[in-house]
C-alpha cells in the first residue's frame, strides 16, 4: 500500500472560537497553529497529535449551511483519563453525548460538537 497514514482531517465549523472552546477546553487538544480571517482567507486552527503525524484542521466557513452530518472522527482516549470529567467538559462546551456502548475491549462514546460534527471517543476498558 502506498499510503502510510491520514495526514489531515479538515472539519468545517461555523464559529472558530466556539469550536476552539470545545476541542481545546472539552477534549483537551492543544492547537499547534491558529489563524484569524485575513484578506478573505478563512480562519482556522490546527491540532497535531504528537508523533502520529496526523492533524485535525478546523476551518471557519463564513457562508455555510453546514449541518455536520455525514462525517465522523474517532479519537482514542488515553488510558487513565477521567472520562466522567471529560464528558462534563463536553456538555459545558455546548457538545452533546449521543450514546455510550461497550464493544469488546472498548467503551465507545458518541459525541457531537457545537456544529453537530460527529465524534466517537474510544476508551480502553
Distance CA(1)–CA(19), nearest Å, equals: 34
pLDDT, average across residues 117-125: 91
pLDDT digits (tens, 9 = 90+) for 75-114: 889 889 999 999 999 999 999 999 999 999 999 999 999 9
pLDDT for 54 equals 82
Quick check: is 2 in a domain?
Answer: no
85 domain residue, yes or no: yes
Closest by Cα among 114, 106, 58 to 83: 106
pLDDT of residue 69: 59
pLDDT confidence tier of residue 21, bands split at 50, 70 and 90: very high
15 within a domain of the structure (yes/no): yes
Q: Is residue 101 part of a domain?
A: yes
Q: What is the pTM of this model?
A: 0.81
Whether 90 is in a domain gets the answer: yes
How many domains are contained in the chain?
A: 1
What CATH code is carried by the domain that includes residue 38?
3.10.180.10
Question: pLDDT at position 34, please?
Answer: 87
118 in any annotated domain: yes
CA distance 108 to 102: 6
Give the C-alpha separation, 65 to 116, whole Å: 12
Q: Tell me, yes or no, whether 114 lies in a domain.
A: yes
Range of the domain at 84: 8-124
Q: Is residue 103 part of a domain?
A: yes
Q: Which three cell numbers stand for residue 99?
A: 450514546
Amino acid at each position: 500500500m502506498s499510503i502510510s497514514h491520514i495526514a489531515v482531517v479538515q472539519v468545517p465549523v461555523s464559529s472558530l472560537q466556539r469550536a476552539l472552546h470545545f476541542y481545546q477546553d472539552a477534549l483537551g487538544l492543544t492547537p499547534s497553529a491558529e489563524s484569524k480571517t485575513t484578506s478573505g482567507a478563512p480562519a482556522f486552527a490546527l491540532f497535531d497529535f504528537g508523533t502520529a503525524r496526523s492533524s485535525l484542521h478546523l476551518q471557519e466557513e463564513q457562508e455555510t449551511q453546514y449541518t455536520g452530518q455525514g462525517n465522523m472522527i474517532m479519537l482514542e482516549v488515553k488510558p487513565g483519563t477521567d472520562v466522567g470529567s471529560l464528558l462534563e467538559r463536553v456538555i459545558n462546551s455546548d457538545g452533546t453525548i449521543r450514546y455510550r456502548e461497550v464493544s469488546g475491549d472498548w467503551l465507545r462514546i458518541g459525541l457531537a460538537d457545537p456544529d453537530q460534527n460527529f465524534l466517537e471517543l474510544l476508551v480502553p476498558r
